[in-house]
């Protein structure tokens, strides 16, 4: 099964930016709320990205926002990506965008640093006397002064916990805020009760509630800052977008907003400028820095006719380009959207966490109640019983559970994109770690995909006539072999011939009528199907195939039958990194297999050159998917690597499809992973980052579960006081995110 995300047909897709989520329980509650909106067919909420992705039938975005707000959260429609403007003059006037938050990657207001600083300053006088006791000094503050310091912390700086906890209760759910609010209120209330009962010098617990609130605020701030680092890849990609472009019209250059540029416009790119949009060079030559788009560290030489990608940096030459894509159709927009989708999507392993989160808070409250009653009845010390119950509530951390998976996914997909590995969704990232075999297409994947004519062997026709007929039947084809013929014809200034009724047969060849005769150009298999006698060219063909060349046979049909006229031999260089790719996969314990529609001899030659032992030749495009399915039965999890339209079914049939960005859009849309440089050695790196990310997810989930499984019982047994419990709770979330951030150290090859 492919990892491609299945989008519900005929639905609208919305992305909402959510403020106010604090833990996995908030995620579960929000998803339940969104699913209750009539017309919503799919809703996925991500704690780490603070986004909700919704698919719905005929639901206005205002209804979705209202549902989220009713649940106690703030919601905004995500700003749309850059798009071309119908009226360029409108580009200079800022349009109002009600309900849309314009700033991305900003720390939420609830995690501003000033409340933490103020809370710490108010807490410090409450905490210092505890250290004095260690040195035999008792300078505990009077109860009224402790209350004066603790009250603004509890009800002003800690008001967010009451608000969020109340919204959760109204929705019939619970979250981290509810646990903190109940726990600290209990400690604060007990202190007030004891102060009123025994006077100002009674032993009070104001410092417990104040320290817990301060530590939780600090933990959420550190967590938010750490989460921002997981989207650093999106920071870098978004910074590549250009706001203005120099457009040339009737020989006059003028500067316009980039969203006023249309397909077909002529742009001027000066040295040092970023390329505004996708297109191709019409004048000039230069080197382009594409490192942030493809991971290629060296500048790439570009000449007339070469493609330019928006966001790359022009180095030394002035370039004139014609625009071919604008707005959301550019490669940069596609990359950003893919990274955002991958970071917003949920990995399959997250389903377990979601099920646990749904019952986590009620279970903690139940354990807290049992702790209170148990300690109170057994010991008779209801003060200590209450403190132990508070510790249970404070140490419980659904945040760590909620952040364990998405932060790892965000960091993993981000660092992969930095090195030219574009992972479409979280499922693809999770699936790739289990790959046991990789099936490679040959042309354009293991080879350069730029074949050239090596030899023209006529049996009944001259070489010139043979080439003219080959050009005639292929003149409207975009196949690599057809392009090789066109280049050869152009280079040798041969006169083109017209053709009628051209028809392509996938995996076999092409045919057309030329000068009243039917011309057939294709594989040896097709010649046998047509009953063509190929004896005159078989020895020549065998020689070329043994040298790794691809052979196309040309036959002519007339009233007497179909007769061989000659053959063309094509050479296609093996990519320099192809052998390295196979060696890296071997080192990972992964079997490499080649699947090609080419002849047996050529397939064997290429397989030997790159170090592949198992290959399948003369496989029709329609049969590739079935062969991939058979490989899955034999090897387990299988990836398919390809770049052409004919590879799309096989890419979809594999457990994970890996496409070369140098290939067709169809292949890239079908695949779960796209290699932006078209470098086969990146296949092993894609699997490597998947394995590293999956390991981080498992580590984070292990520690998140263990933390709660160990911490809650310790608190219930009276072995942790609320201050230590609060410290541990704050540390758990930060440690999970920090562990995920270690993925940013990953580099290809390690």
Q: Which residues on neighbouring strands pair with residue 313, listed in sequence order?
A: 274, 289
CA 549 to chain centre: 38
Q: Count of CB atoms within 10 A of residue 542's CB?
A: 13
Helix (H) and strand (E) counts in the chain: 25, 26
Query: Which class for 560: exposed (0-12), middle (13-18), buried (19 or more C-beta within 10 A)?
Result: exposed
pLDDT of 334 reads: 82
> Percent of the chain beyond pLDDT 70?
87
Q: Give SS3 for 582.
A: helix
Distances (CA, A) of 587 to 244, 383, 582, 583: 47, 61, 9, 6
| Spatial contact of 484 and 452, defined as CB atoms under 8 Å apart | yes
Q: Give SS3 for 239.
A: coil
CA distance 104 to 99: 14
Torsions phi, psi of 76, nearest 5? -140, 145
pLDDT of 37 reads: 92
pLDDT of 659 reads: 86
**In 3D, which of 372, 407, 289 has the Cα closest to residue 739?**
407
87-113 mean pLDDT: 42
429's CB contacts (< 8 A; 6+ apart) are 342, 347, 409, 412, 413, 423, 689, 690, 693, 694
- Alpha helices (H) in 345-437, listed in sequence order: 350-379, 382-395, 398-418, 426-432
Q: Maximum distance among all alpha carbons in the chain?
A: 119
290's CB contacts (< 8 A; 6+ apart) are 296, 300, 309, 312
Distances (CA, A) of 644 to 239, 315, 360, 509, 662: 31, 32, 48, 16, 9
pLDDT of 362 reads: 84
Residue 54 DSSP symbol: E
Q: Is the per-residue pLDDT at 357 higher than 90?
A: no
Q: Which pLDDT tens digit goes with each residue over 407-446? A: 888 888 888 888 889 888 778 888 899 999 999 998 888 9
**In 3D, which of 739, 714, 717 has the Cα closest to residue 728?**
714
CA distance 296 to 309: 13
Burial 405-438 (b: 16+ CB within 10 A, else e): bbbbbbbbbbbbbbbbbbbbbbbbbbbbbebbbb
624-632 mean pLDDT: 90
CA distance 235 to 240: 9
Q: Which pLDDT tens digit goes with each residue over 205-262? A: 788 788 878 877 887 787 677 667 666 666 777 788 888 999 998 888 999 999 899 9
**In 3D, which of 285, 263, 258, 296 has the Cα closest to residue 274?**
258
- pLDDT mean across residues, the chain: 82
Residue 111 DSSP symbol: G
Q: Which pLDDT tens digit goes with each residue over 129-183? A: 766 555 556 567 888 898 999 999 999 998 988 888 887 777 776 677 777 888 7
Length of the chain in terms of residues written? 750
Q: Measured on CA atoms in the order 216, 222, 226, 231, is the torsion positive or negative?
A: positive
Q: Is the per-residue pLDDT at 701 higher than 90?
A: no
Distances (CA, A) of 432 to 2, 191, 667: 11, 55, 18
Least confident stretch, 66-75, 195-204, 388-397, 541-550:
195-204
pLDDT of 233 reads: 65
Residue 153 DSSP symbol: I
| Spatial contact of 176 and 24, defined as CB atoms under 8 Å apart | no
Q: Which residues on neighbouring strands pair with residue 74, listed in sequence order?
A: 19
Q: Is the per-residue pLDDT at 277 higher than 90?
A: yes
pLDDT of 374 reads: 92
68-89 mean pLDDT: 65
pLDDT of 84 reads: 45
pLDDT of 354 reads: 67
pLDDT of 93 reads: 31
Cα atoms found within 13 Å of the Cα of residue 80, Cβ hemisphere only: 11
Residue 416 DSSP symbol: H
- Strand ranges of the sheet holding 300-302, from the earlier edge strand across to the other edge: 300-302, 286-289, 313-314
Task: Enter the tokens of residue 361.
Answer: 């808070």
Q: Is the per-residue pLDDT at 319 higher than 60?
A: yes
Distances (CA, A) of 24 to 298, 427, 568, 713: 43, 19, 63, 21
CA distance 570 to 474: 15
pLDDT of 583 reads: 95
CA distance 246 to 215: 52
Catalytic residue among 177, 441, 643, 685: 441
Confidence of residue 9 (pLDDT cuts 50, 70, 90): low
Q: How would DSSP label each residue in 531-580?
A: T---HHHHHHHHHHHHTT-EEEEEEEEETTEEEEEEEEEEE-PBPTTHHH
pLDDT of 167 reads: 79
| Spatial contact of 435 and 687, defined as CB atoms under 8 Å apart | yes
CA distance 704 to 355: 15
CA distance 234 to 242: 15
Candidate ranges 73-87, 186-200, 685-699; pick with highest mean pLDDT: 685-699
Q: Which pLDDT tens digit goes with each residue over 496-534? A: 788 888 888 877 889 999 988 899 999 888 999 899 999
CA distance 354 to 389: 25
**In 3D, which of 623, 438, 480, 473 has the Cα closest to residue 553?**
473
Q: Is the per-residue pLDDT at 288 higher than 70?
A: yes
Please state the pTM of the whole predicted model.
0.72
CA distance 402 to 408: 11
pLDDT of 512 reads: 92
Q: Give SS3 for 440.
A: strand
Q: Is the per-residue pLDDT at 101 higher than 70?
A: no
More confident residue, 356 or 579: 579
Q: Please give the domain boundaries of the chain with CATH numbers for all domains.
A: 240-331 (2.70.150.10), 431-446+575-683 (3.40.50.1000), 452-571 (3.40.1110.10)
Burial 614-643 (b: 16+ CB within 10 A, else e): ebbbbbbbebbbebbeebbeebebbbbbbb
Give the Cα-Cα-Cα angle 563, 568, 572 (nearest 5 degrees).
Answer: 150
49-64 mean pLDDT: 87
Q: Is the per-residue pLDDT at 360 higher than 50?
A: yes
Confidence of residue 635 (pLDDT cuts 50, 70, 90): very high
269-297 mean pLDDT: 87
Is 12 designated active site? Answer: no
Confidence of residue 108 (pLDDT cuts 50, 70, 90): very low
Confidence of residue 81 (pLDDT cuts 50, 70, 90): very low
**In 3D, which of 309, 325, 329, 342 has the Cα closest to residue 234?**
342
pLDDT of 648 reads: 78
| Spatial contact of 345 and 51, defined as CB atoms under 8 Å apart | no
pLDDT of 478 reads: 74
What would you report as the CA-atom Rg of the chain, rounded to the nearest whole angstrom?
33
47-60 mean pLDDT: 85
CA distance 71 to 55: 19
| Spatial contact of 607 and 613, defined as CB atoms under 8 Å apart | yes
CA 427 to chain centre: 10
Task: Enter the tokens of residue 549.
Answer: 């060349």
Q: Find the helix packing angle between 159-170 and 24-35, rounded to 10°.
A: 40
Q: Is the per-residue pLDDT at 358 higher than 80?
A: no
Distances (CA, A) of 329 to 13, 89, 698: 17, 22, 36
Q: Find the helix packing angle between 206-230 and 722-741, rounded to 10°.
A: 10
More confident residue, 583 or 343: 583
| Spatial contact of 327 and 84, defined as CB atoms under 8 Å apart | yes
CA distance 13 to 53: 7
115-131 mean pLDDT: 84
């Amino acid at each position: 099964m492919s990892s491609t995300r299945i989008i519900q047909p005929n639905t609208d897709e919305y992305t909402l930016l959510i403020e106010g989520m604090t833990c996995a329980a908030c995620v579960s509650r929000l998803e339940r709320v969104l699913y209750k909106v009539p017309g919503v067919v799919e809703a996925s909420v991500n704690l780490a990205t603070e986004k909700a992705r919704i698919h719905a039938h005929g639901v206005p975005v205002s209804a979705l926002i209202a549902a989220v707000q009713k649940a106690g959260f703030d919601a905004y429609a995500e700003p749309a990506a850059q798009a071309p403007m119908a009226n360029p003059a409108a580009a200079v006037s800022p349009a109002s965008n009600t309900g849309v938050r314009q700033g991305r990657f900003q720390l939420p207001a609830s995690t501003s640093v000033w409340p933490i600083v103020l809370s710490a300053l108010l807490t410090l006088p409450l905490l210092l006397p505890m250290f004095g006791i260690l040195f035999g000094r008792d300078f505990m503050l009077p109860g009224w002064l402790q209350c004066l310091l603790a009250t603004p912390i509890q009800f002003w700086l800690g008001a967010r916990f009451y608000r969020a906890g109340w919204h959760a209760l109204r929705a019939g759910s619970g979250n981290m805020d509810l646990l903190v609010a109940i726990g600290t209120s209990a400690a604060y209330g007990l202190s007030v009760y004891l102060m009123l009962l025994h006077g100002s010098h009674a032993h009070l617990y104001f410092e417990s509630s104040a320290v817990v609130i301060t530590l939780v605020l600090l933990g959420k701030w550190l967590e938010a800052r750490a989460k921002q680092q997981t989207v650093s890849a999106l920071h870098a990609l978004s910074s590549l977008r250009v706001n203005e472009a120099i457009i040339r019209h009737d020989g006059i250059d003028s500067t316009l907003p980039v969203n006023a540029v249309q397909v077909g416009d002529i742009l001027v790119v000066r040295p040092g400028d970023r390329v505004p949009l996708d297109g191709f060079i019409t004048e000039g030559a230069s080197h382009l820095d594409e490192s942030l788009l493809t991971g290629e560290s060296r500048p790439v030489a570009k000449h007339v006719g070469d493609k330019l990608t928006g966001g790359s940096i022009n180095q030394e030459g002035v370039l004139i380009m014609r625009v071919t894509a604008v707005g959301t159709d550019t490669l940069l927009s596609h990359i950003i959207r893919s990274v955002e989708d991958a970071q917003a999507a949920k990995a399959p392993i997250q389903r377990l966490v979601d099920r646990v989160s749904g019952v986590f808070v009620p279970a903690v409250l139940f354990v807290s109640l049992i702790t209170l009653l148990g300690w109170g009845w057994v010991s008779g010390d209801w003060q200590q019983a209450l403190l132990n119950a508070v510790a249970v509530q404070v140490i419980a951390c659904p945040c760590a559970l909620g952040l364990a998976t998405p932060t790892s996914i965000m960091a993993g997909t981000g660092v992969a994109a930095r090195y030219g590995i574009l992972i479409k969704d979280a499922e693809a990232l999770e699936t790739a770690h289990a790959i046991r075999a990789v099936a490679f297409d040959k042309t354009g994947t293991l080879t350069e995909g730029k074949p050239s004519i090596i030899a023209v062997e006529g049996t009944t026709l001259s070489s010139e006539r043979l080439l003219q007929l080959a050009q005639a039947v292929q003149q409207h084809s975009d196949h690599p072999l057809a392009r090789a013929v066109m280049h050869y014809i152009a280079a040798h200034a041969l006169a083109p011939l017209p053709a009628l009724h051209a028809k392509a047969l996938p995996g076999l060849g092409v045919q057309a009528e030329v000068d009243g005769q039917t011309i057939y150009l294709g594989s040896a298999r097709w010649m046998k199907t047509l009953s063509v006698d190929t004896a005159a060219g078989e020895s020549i063909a065998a020689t070329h195939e043994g040298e790794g060349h691809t052979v196309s046979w040309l036959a002519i049909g007339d009233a007497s039958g179909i007769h061989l006229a000659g053959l063309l031999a094509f050479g296609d260089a093996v990519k320099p990194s192809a052998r390295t790719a196979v060696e890296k996969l071997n080192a990972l314990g992964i079997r490499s297999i080649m699947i090609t529609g080419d002849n047996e001899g050529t397939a064997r030659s290429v397989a030997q050159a790159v170090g592949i032992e198992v290959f399948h030749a003369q496989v029709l495009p329609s049969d590739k998917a079935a062969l991939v399915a058979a490989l899955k039965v034999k090897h387990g999890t299988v990836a398919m690597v390809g770049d052409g339209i004919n590879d799309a079914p096989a890419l979809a049939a594999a457990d994970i499809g890996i496409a070369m960005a140098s290939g067709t859009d169809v292949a890239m849309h079908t695949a779960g992973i796209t290699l932006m440089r078209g470098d086969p050695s990146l296949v092993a790196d894609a699997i490597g980052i998947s394995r590293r990310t999956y390991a981080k997810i498992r580590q984070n989930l292990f520690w998140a579960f263990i933390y709660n499984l160990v911490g809650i019982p310790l608190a219930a047994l009276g072995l942790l006081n609320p201050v230590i419990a609060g410290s541990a709770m704050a540390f758990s979330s930060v440690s999970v995110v920090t562990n995920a951030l270690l993925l940013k150290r990953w580099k290809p090859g390690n």
